[in-house]
Structure 1
Amino acid sequence: MEELKGCIVVYGIVGCPHCIRAKQLLKENKLPYLEVSIDRYPAVRQWLQEKTNRTSVPQIFFNEEHVGGYDSLEAAFRDNDHWQELLALVRENEAEDGFLRIPHPSEAVDSNEGASSSFRCEKDPILELYQELIESGIIQDKKLLVFTQQKNVFPGDRFVSWLIGRGNNEEHAIQQGNKLLQKKFIVGVTTGTTHFVNSSKEYYRLTTGEETVALNRGPSQGCILDKGGALPLAAHLRDLLLQLFTHVSSNGKVVDYVSIKDSTEFAEYVTLTRELQRVPLETLDEDQRKAFFINIYNALVIHAFVSGKKPTNMLSQMWFYDQVSYIIGSHQYSLNDIENGVLRANRRGPLQLRSPFRRDDPRLATSLIQVDPRIHFALNCGAKSCPPIKTFSGENVNEELQLAMTAYLESDEALQVRPGEKGRPATVLLSSLLKWYAADFGSTSEDVLRWVATNVKLPEKKDSLEAALTEGNWSIKYIPYDWGHNGASTE
């Protein structure tokens, strides 16, 4: 590495592909740099926004010279005269004292290195009974309706008789059944079952999801999940997710799913996803649910891609979003269920004929009260045109969504404005996301543009869009969506 009098600073976040590409370019040119993660040093974020008027990352400085993001760095590199000017600046001059915001280590918030301590799997006392139930012989596959066969089910009276045969009385047996039901080790086959009943007509099934294609099917470890509700588990899954996002290829262009598949973090993640089967979603408030399901959606996509379930054509894309799923809180949620059923307040998706959840669907209770359109800039579907992968916390989800939205609208993949000439209308190029989900942004095309104009912060884009709206002379074109994978093959 070359020795410099000055310094090059890259401000970024964990797992940011453009950040990695910028660092790779500097490494290839043997240029040392200082990396400042605004995830670990959130106090730096406000300074960075004020200094650059940008919310996107990376933001790169050569001493006091603000170069910009990765595209600007690459453009400078291709312009030899500009590149030599930048190199001369850091080779011959020290950085102005106090100009750059270099945080002290004491300012760091919790790092990912401590992720393993955020959730401890203490075994639930009822786990032993649950394991004995599995070996009891009373669980079977049974045709409960003419055309429907239920797997891993048992009637309430057989469970009670089984426990009575082990020295329990009927009251205690029913109490134990209720504990298994409340802790979601079992679930009632009849919709809306909340109490265990000693009856030959009331059936219950295991929550393992063995009869489904859910990626987290199988027996859980039986961790205690009722202390603090779903939040400790969600926080730990979020930390593991951050670690998985560091597996980005050396050029930063794709997620390195091969490395993820072989990582200890992924093995731990897969094991822990089975605890989602019993997570008490009812303990989450609106913001916590929003953050929880955004994170789970992004993680489920990664889990599916690592498992080799990447869609290759339009038909497989439809299958992917409808079938790739997790068991969460004893119910199965596909990617479409999470996006349209929960996060979009049970609205019909672009290719759906009806809303995901019917009136009698117990999952309807997890739907958000109203649509927050910013979620579209937080969900990463695994395609190249999807917004960058980020993670969200229940306590700060609205601020984090605001940053994700602002950063995405800064990009040319989301918004471009081409002024009109000689009386011709200005052309506004928008991400196809704003076409497919237009109803979440407004009732008309003008409503959508006004929503964008209100929320885009980059001055040149904001001014151009507002000018076009004021003149009333504009047309919209939608930027083609690149459905190519953002990852390499796992084969």
Structure 2
Amino acid sequence: MPSLNTGSPMDGAERSQMGRVTVYSVTGCPHCLQAKSHLRELGLPVHEVDMNRHTELWVRVKELAGRSTVPQIFFNSVHVGGNDDLHTLAPEELERLMRLVREEPVPLDAPPLPEEDHLEEVGNYDGEIKCERDEFADMVAEFKQCGVIGSHMKGLRVCRNSFAGVQLVDWLEREKGLDRSKAFEMGKVLMERKFFNSVSGKEFEESSALFRLLEHDPHSALNVREMATCSPLQAAELSEILRNMMLKLYSDHLSADGKLVDYKAVSRSPSFERYCELAVQLQRVELRTLSREEKLSFFINIYNALVIHGNLRLGSPKNMWQRYRFFNYVSYLIGGEVFTLQDIENGVLRGNRKGVAQLLKPFSKSDPRLQVALPDAEPLIHFALNCGAKGCPPIKTYTAKDIDSQLRIAAEAFLENDDCCRVDAAKGEVKLSQLFKWYKGDFGDTDEKMLNWILNHMSDSPKKSSLQAVLKATKFKVSYMPYDWSTNGKD
């Protein structure tokens, strides 16, 4: 069990101090890293609270800070603000606050720390998960080595690493001693358990119809080339673990100033190897039984992890064409189906709507992935998806429980940022992130509807009051700020 003080004192002088500096942060947040580094350079006792793991404290912290962004910094019970606020403190004010922490004990009204018995409740950063070997994994592994799998013709097309349904039935009858009907039923069971797929979308049949093991999927998904041998895992649990593992890797390899990620070092990490091993288990998770809340949390977590995985394997896209290919190519095999980043965002989370520069909807009416798509677009997902560029929303892990309130917090934090939303009531002008331009239909068909949506998702603040004043005016202007596509990768 880790210590309650997640930012341990560094020396004897620090241990003798009476008070504390509390920093509410999120794993992988560059501004949080900068703030903590600066505070420790000042020799202050830093107590970090990861809000991604202790969401039960969000309401109280927001009441005290009046903001939804991180970091939020308190010297004893005095609220300083975020990283920028810390760095712009007047020298005499900083000195006063430092004396406060060194000379006065923590007051009763100090901001809250997590209760000790809640420390490990949320999140899993070490990748430990119960994996029971599937009862049919050994059988499939034997079939894989029997020499049947190879190149087969389907019309004029060569299908590599494939086998015919009749070949599997023959092998089960010959090698496993099953009678013909039971061998056929076993083939159906193996397909239902997502060990293999049909090359042409058919059900399992005892014929020349071709099938392919999931690990041989030809779509270059980043979690294939190895068989998922665990009994199907709970999708929500697996996505949280994978996301937390990737966040930890990301955070561990952030530069000292919190601005760049050393992706090469991440790719060499043993923890990344463990991540890849677990990602293989996505191949056979069950998606069709997920609730709306479970789908939201699962696919947001997987999208955010997949972006970083794509950067590690393929490098960061540098121009518009590379970005288009990246989001339409980088994929995972999930529940027996391939999902690219575009498929997850526009197909599942936006209710099968066309994305930017897309001529068609991601899923056709006959596409089995359509069964997984949300019935309607969820606008709040745009503030939770991390695209790997510096201008994107902050990254964190989402849980099915209270997913809507978590997404609302993400939206409030996004809208508090002046790089994402600026309001000039005197001029009647509103400047917004390009996200609102690209996905305007998700927020409203007109500027007025879109601004009202934004107003309803802002936390109480002077900016919200200014937007109310703009909407009351008869005329206003909406424009969009340039999007920062520069990557956060270390050269």
Instruction: Compute the TM-score of the two structures, normalised by the length of structure 2.
Output: 0.91
- CA displacement at 1:130 relative to structure 2: 0.7
Aligned to 2:100: 89
Distance 1:8 1:209, change over 3 A: same
Match of 2:207 in 1: 199
Which residue, out of 361, 364, 374, partners 1:358?
364
Q: Which amino acid aligns with 1:219?
A: E
In the alignment, structure 1 residue 224 sits paired with structure 2 residue 235: no
1:136 corresponds to 2:141: no
- 2:352 aligned with 1:346, yes or no? yes
CA distance in 2, matches of 1:102, 1:158: 62
| Residues 1:409 and 1:145: Cα distance change in structure 2 (over 3 Å) | farther
Counterpart of 1:416, as a letter, is R
Q: Identify the match of residue 234 of structure 1 among 239, 248, 251.
A: 239
**Contact map agreement 1:377 1:404 (CA 8 A) in 2:** yes
Give 5+ residue unaligned stretches, structure 1: none
> Would the aligned equivalents of 1:340 and 1:347 in 2 still touch at CA under 8 Å?
yes
User: RMSD of the TM alignment (CA)?
Assistant: 2.0
Within the candidate set 32, 39, 42, 2:55 is matched to: 42
What is residue 72 of structure 2 aligned with on the other side? 59
Matched, 1:177 2:179: no
Give how far 1:114 is off: 6.9
1:176 aligned partner, one-letter code: M
Aligned to 2:5: none
Q: Given the alignment, which residue of 262, 268, 275 partners 2:268? A: 262
**1:149 maps to 2:154:** no
2:259 corresponds to: 253
Deviation at 1:328, TM superposition (A): 1.2
| Range 176-185 or range 258-267, more displaced | 258-267
CA contact (8 A) 1:122 1:224 kept: yes
Equivalent of 1:470 in 464, 472, 484: 472
> Which of 197, 215, 222 is 1:208 aligned to?
215
Paired residues for 1:236-315 under 5 Å: 236-247=241-252, 248-315=254-321
Residues in 1 aligned to 2:207 and 2:155: alpha-carbon distance in whole angstroms? 17
Q: Distance in 2 between matches of 1:72 and 1:385?
A: 20
Q: Tell me the residue number matched to 1:165.
A: 174
TM-score of the aligned structures, taking structure 1 as reference length: 0.91
Alpha-carbon deviation of 1:92?
4.3
After superposition, the C-alpha distances for 1:65-108 in whole angstroms (9 at most, x for unaligned) are: 211011111121xx334333333433444443333323442342
Amino acid at match of 1:230: A
Distance 2:63 2:40 in 1: 28
Query: 1:168 deviation in Å?
Result: 2.5
SS of the residue 2:470 aligns to: helix
Identity %: 38
Q: How many residues align?
A: 476
* Cross-structure match for 1:378: 384
Q: Which amino acid aligns with 1:197?
A: E
Distance 2:79 2:344 in 1: 40
* Cα contact 1:209–1:327 (8 A) shared by 2: no
Give unpaired runs (5+ residues) of structure 2.
Answer: 1-10
* Compared CA separation, residues 230 and 38, structure 1 to 2 (3 A): closer
| Aligned with residue 447 of structure 2, among 445, 448, 451 | 445
* Residue identity opposite 2:249 in structure 1: L
Residue 325 of structure 1 deviates from its aligned partner by 0.9
Offset, 1:163: 2.4
Distance 1:5 1:169, change over 3 A: closer
Letter in 1 for 2:448: E
- Structure 2 SS opposite 1:312: coil
Using the TM superposition, give the Cα deviation of residue 161 of structure 1 relative to its aligned residue in structure 2, in angstroms: 2.0
State the Cα distance separating 1:261 from its structure 2 match: 1.8
CA distance in 2, matches of 1:22, 1:264: 28
Return the alpha-carbon distance in structure 1 between the equivalents of residues 192 and 402 of structure 2: 30
Residue 60 of structure 2 aligns to a residue whose secondary structure is helix
| Residue 411 of structure 1 pairs with residue 417 of structure 2 | yes
Using the TM superposition, give the Cα deviation of residue 61 of structure 1 relative to its aligned residue in structure 2, in angstroms.
1.1
Higher deviation after alignment, 236-245 or 9-18: 236-245
Are the structure 2 counterparts of residues 231 and 48 from structure 1 closer, same or farther at C-alpha, using a change threshold of 3 Å?
Answer: closer
Q: Which amino acid aligns with 1:223?
A: C
* TM superposition shift of 1:402: 1.3
Deviations 1:97-128 (A, max 9, x none): 333323442342426567444x2221111111
Instruction: Provide the rounded CA distance (Å) in 2 between the counterparts of 1:458 and 1:415.
Output: 14
Q: Is the partner of 2:215 in helix, strand or coil?
A: coil
SS at match of 1:128: helix
> How big is the shift at 1:397?
1.7
Residue aligned with 2:131, SS: coil
Q: Distance in 2 between matches of 1:145 and 1:386?
A: 46
What is the aligned counterpart of 2:35 among 10, 18, 22? Answer: 22
